[in-house]
Structure 1
Amino acid sequence: MAEGGGHAHVGAREPMRDGVVHALVREHFAAFAEQMQEGGRSLPRYVVAEFEAFVRCGVLACGFMRARCAGCGHDRLVAFSCKHRGCVRAAAGGA
């Protein structure tokens, strides 16, 4: 419980995790990268790093900040963004 009896509320769901593209990358990227490696065509490290950051972007379990209203004491948890230029959250100013 937050100070003053309030609860910490999660800000709007984790929108990145709700998207189709995020689900596809989360569920299939590791297998795709493995298939590429088995075929002798590994992905560059920067590509792997971008996809891994994309999967962690906007996920509370991967880091967040707690914002507290000075007036009412209401807390909100805000997930961190990867801040990469291809990130929809970062480009839209949602980070």
Structure 2
Amino acid sequence: MPATARPTHTHSHAGGQAGAKPKLYNPRHPERTLLYQTIAEHFETWFELASAGQFDGQGDHHTPKPYVRQAFRKYLECGIFAHGFARAWCDDCGHDYFVAYSCKGRGVCPSRNTRRMVETAAHLTDHVFPRLPVRQWVLSVPKRLRYFMERDGGVLNTVLRI
């Protein structure tokens, strides 16, 4: 059952100019993207093979963590009207429309990652960089070490102290 939302600004009227068309919400249709189609078609097969140790070169197989499956499932539901939506409208002009729910995930979903990246960049540019001297370091970690860093917090902390 859809929820009803009443956001304060659903779209903006182009600078208040007479006769200007409002900017309307455009659904992003993630199911049309190559990433979505690839994950939808191949994720379950990949998960079964990974759970069986098919991709472990060392034979010490580990089933992917539950959060991996959860992140991909949430991504496959993100922005899809069949998985939930809200009805929104503009108090000024009365225009109403439906907005599909977002997964709010940070792992797989490019929609959320892009928004988070833009927000972080704006924060750094506006609040951090003007006040502090900045030096950028890039640490490249060997692939075998990345595996241990993911599963062992002690290893991760040791590497991050470099």
Tell me the TM-score normalized by structure 1.
0.72
Structure whose CA Rg is larger: 2
Query: Kindly, what percent of the aligned residue pairs are identical?
Result: 34
* Alignment-derived partner of residue 49 in structure 1: 70
1:36 aligns with 2:50: yes
Give the whole-Å Cα distance in 2 for the aligned partners of 1:20 and 1:54: 13
Residues 30-63 of structure 1: CA distance to partner in whole angstroms, max 9, x if unpaired? 1111222344642110111111111111111111
The letter of the residue matching 1:80 is Y
User: Structure 1 or 2: larger strand share?
Assistant: 1
1:91 corresponds in structure 2 to: 113
Partner of 2:97: 76
2:155 aligns with none
What SS class does the counterpart of residue 64 from structure 2 fall into? Answer: coil
Contact 1:57–1:81 at 8 Å: present in 2 too? yes
Q: Name the counterpart of 1:3.
A: none
Where does structure 1 lack aligned partners over 5 or more consecutive residues? 1-10
Bigger mean CA deviation after superposition, 15-24 or 32-41: 32-41
Gaps of 5+ in 2: 1-24, 54-60, 116-162
CA contact (8 A) 1:14 1:60 kept: no
**Structure 1 residue 72, shift from structure 2 partner:** 3.9
Aligned partners of 2:110 and 2:68: how far apart in 1? 17
Alignment pair present for 1:19 and 2:33: yes
Task: Give the match's secondary structure for 2:63.
Answer: coil
- Per-residue CA deviation, residues 3-52 of structure 1 (Å, 9 max, x unaligned), is xxxxxxxx534421111011100111011112223446421101111111
